[in-house]
Amino acid sequence: MRAAGDDTEGVQLRGIVVVLWRAGLRISEALALHETDLDPDRGSLLVRHGKGDKRREVGMDRWAWAHLDPWLGLRKELPAGRLFCIVRGPTRGRPCATAGVRAQLHRAAAVAGVRRRFAPHQLRHAHAVEMSREGISLLVIQRQLGHADLAITSRYLRGIDNTEIIAAVHKRPAPMVPADPPDRASPLKRSSRPQCGRSSARPQPAAGLRAR
């Protein structure tokens, strides 16, 4: 985020990163937000036209609101309209073009030393993985991201590595069903069931031989 710069465009770009990362919005959803779609008191953002033209309300944490606040202060000096907009020239206040924002994000990623190709959607994936690591239920993550199918949300969580999976399973509590080993001091009871490696059937004499 520091690589975005400190000028007006940079402050706005940091605000876009915050909304993509900490609210998990698609870039099209973020750029379609209006100033009136934000409710800082409740910590919510209203997505009016999500994928499939579906409307939903999402949450955003206090840290994110604090980092979005500098842009909100600058936004008040521009004509009313979209939350993220053109900041200079005769078209100031008008919506940002998606291609232009993508180019800004790519340049900022390069300045930050990101060697792999950066895509804004990666911030949405990071949002899902971080929420899962924090113990938030899959259903809540699904609603936050606006997925119609829970299987899509599950695919977002493939970023969790094997080390985390092993650690999570290793910390599981003991089973609720009693499964303690028998008391070694007590004699074992005879069982009528066949033992492992021993057959309960009596051996048959070899063919052609009579038992004597």
pLDDT in tens, 120-158: 999 999 999 899 888 888 889 999 999 988 888 888 877
Domains of the chain (ranges, CATH numbers): 2-116 (1.10.443.10)
Residue 51, pLDDT score: 87
Would you say residue 37 has pLDDT above 90?
yes
Most confident of 105-119, 123-137, 168-182: 123-137
pLDDT at 174 over 80: no
The model's pTM = 0.73
Residue 79 has pLDDT above 70, yes or no: yes
Radius of gyration of the chain (CA): 30
38-52, 58-72, 148-162: lowest mean pLDDT where?
148-162
Strands 56-59, 38-39: pairing kind: unpaired
pLDDT above 90: residue 41: yes
Range 125-137 burial, b when 16+ CB lie within 10 A, else e = bbbbbebbeeeee
